Chains A and B, each alone.
Chain A
Amino acid sequence: MRALINLLFFPGGLFLILLALAYEWADRKLLARFENRIGPRWFQTVADIVKLLVKEEITPATSHPILFGVLPVVAMTGALTAALYVPLLGMRPALSFNGDLIVTLYLLSLLTMAVGMAGWNSTSRFTMMGATRALTQLFSYEAPFMLALLGPAVVAQSWQINQIVANNRGVWLLLTQPFGFAVALIGLMGKLEMPPFDAPKAKTEIVAGALTEYSGRGLGLFHLGKGIELVVGLTLIAALYMGGIANPVEFFGKTLLLLVVLTSLHAILTRLRIDQTVGLWWRYGALVVLLQWLALIVWKGVTA
C-alpha cells in the first residue's frame, strides 16, 4: 500500500506533475524577467494544463485515430517511469537496480520518439517537417549526451544511480570533468528542444512542429511530458555532476541553479538551423566528450 502511495502521490505521479508545472512556471517567469516584463502568475501553468485537458479534442481525418490518441499517453508514461529511478527530493529513488542509468536515458528519449511518431502520423506538412527535424536532432545529441552522463559512472565504477551518487558523495565532478558537464547540460537543452535547439518546433517556420495538429488532451499530455522531462533531466545532472543530492533543500538549490543557467542560455542565443545543430553536435559535442573520456581512462590507468 505504501508503495502505491509512493507511486501515485508523493514522489511519483501527482507531486511530480505539480513539480514539473512549478519548474515550467519558474522557467517562463525567469525568461520574462530577463525580458524586463512581469511574466505569468504563479498558477498559470496549472491553468494552462487544466484548460487544455477540458478543451475539445479534434482528430485530423488523415491520421490514424488510435495512434493519434495513444501517442501522448506513451510520451507521458515514458517521462513518468524515468522519474522512478532518479533521486527526487534527495530521497532514495523508488526503484533501483544495476544499470538503471541506461534505462532512464532510454526512457527519456522515448518521449522524443513519441513526438516524432505523432508528427509523422498527422500528415500535415508542418508536422511532417517537425517530425523529421525532431528525429534528426535526437540522433545528433543522443550519443554525446549519453557519453557525458556515463563519465561519472566510470569514476564510481557502477551503473546504478544511487550507487554512483553514494560513491561520488561530496566530490563535485563538475570541477574534475568540466567538459562532460557542459556537454550534458547542452544535451539536456537539445532533448527539451529549448532554444537554440528548438528547430523541431520553430514557431515562425513550421508553426508548432510535430504538435501542430494536436489540441486539448493530447497537447496537454505532451506539454506535461516535456515538463516532467525537464525535472528528471535536471535532477539527473545535479545528482551525477554536483556531488549528489542528500536533502530536499540541496535538491531545490542545485536544480534551480541549473535551471537559471539553462534559461539564461535560452535568452541570449538565436535558434540554430537544423543542419547547424547537427554540425555543432557531431563536430564539437562528440569530440569534446571523447577527449573527456580519454582523460578519464588515462587518469584511471594512472591511479589503478
Chain B
Amino acid sequence: MSVQMSGMWAEVLEKVKTWARINSPWILHYNSGSCNGCDIEIVATITPRYDLERFGIKLQGSPRHADVLICTGPVTLQSRDRLKRIYEQMPDPKFVVAVGSCATSSGAFPGCYNVVGHVDEVIPVNAYIPGCPPRPEAIIDGIVKLLTSLQPPAPATAETHDAQSPAQAAAEAATNEGESA
C-alpha cells in the first residue's frame, strides 16, 4: 500500500492516521519489579471514578494489541529481559510511559543490588510520571501529555492550525468528549 499519493491526499491520510492513533491508544501494563503501589493506581484509572475509557484507552492483555506500554517498577535483573522482549513484540508505532519514581529513577531502592534502576536503561521511554505512587489524575495527566505530543507539530504555514499550548491541545484532543458525555 506504499503507492505514492499526491501531496494533498497524503497529508489528509497522515492527519487521519494521527487522529486515530491519538484517540484510541490501547495500553499494556507491565510491572517490572514495582511494589504494586503504582499498579493499583493504574488499575484505579480504569475504574468508574477516573474511567480512562472516555479517552478511548482500553487495557489489553497481549503485546500485539497494544500501542502504549505502561511500565512500573525499577526493573529487577530477572524482569529486565522480559521487558525488552515485550517491547520488541509490540507493533509500531509504540510508546512507553514510565510510571512512578522507581521507573523514572530507582525511587526508594537506590541501595538495592538486584535492581537495574530506571526503565530507560532497558527500553526507550517517551513519558515519565514520577510519584510514589502518582495520583490517578497525575497518571492521566502524563498520558494526556504523551498524546498531545503526538499531535503533528504546527507546520510552518500557520493557516492549518495555530501553535497550541499543551493545556489547550489537551482540551482539543479530547474535546468531543465534552459534548458527547
Q: CB atoms of A and B under 8 A apart anywhere in the complex? A: yes
Q: Which residues of A contact B (CB under 8 A)?
A: 28, 32, 35-44, 47-48, 50-51, 54-58, 126, 203, 207-208, 212-216, 219
Smallest CB–CB gap between A132 and chain B, Å? Answer: 18
Residues in B whose Cβ lies below 8 Å from that of A43: 23, 176
Q: Are B17 and A214 in contact (CB under 8 A)?
A: no
Q: Are A215 and B19 in contact (CB under 8 A)?
A: no
Q: Does B153 have its Cβ within 8 Å of any Cβ on chain A?
A: no
How many residues on the B side are at the interface (Cβ–Cβ under 8 A)? Answer: 28
Whole-angstrom distance between the alpha carbons of A32 and B48 in the complex? 8
Whole-angstrom distance between the alpha carbons of A227 and B61 in the complex? 21
Q: Are B21 and A51 in contact (CB under 8 A)?
A: yes
Whole-angstrom distance between the alpha carbons of A214 and B91 in the complex? 10
Q: Does B158 have its Cβ within 8 Å of any Cβ on chain A?
A: no
Pick the 9 closest A-B CB pairs, nearest first: A50-B20, A37-B48, A51-B20, A215-B64, A37-B51, A47-B23, A56-B91, A47-B24, A207-B61
B144-181 interface with A by 8 A CB criterion: 174, 176-177, 180-181
**Main DSSP-derived SS at the A contact region:** loop
Residues in B whose Cβ lies below 8 Å from that of A57: 91
Q: Are B180 and A42 in contact (CB under 8 A)?
A: yes
Q: Are A208 and B91 in contact (CB under 8 A)?
A: no
Q: Which residue of B lies closest to A218 (CB)?
A: B64
Residues in A whose Cβ lies below 8 Å from that of B19: 47, 50
Q: Chain B, 89-106, contact with A by CB distance < 8 Å: what is the 0/1 string? A: 101110000000000000
Residues in B whose Cβ lies below 8 Å from that of A214: 64
Residues A47 and B62 in contact in the complex (CB < 8 Å), given A38-B54, A40-B56: no
Residues A37 and B53 in contact in the complex (CB < 8 Å), given A47-B19, A51-B24, A203-B61: yes
Q: Does B65 have its Cβ within 8 Å of any Cβ on chain A?
A: yes
Whole-angstrom distance between the alpha carbons of A37 and B177 in the complex? 13
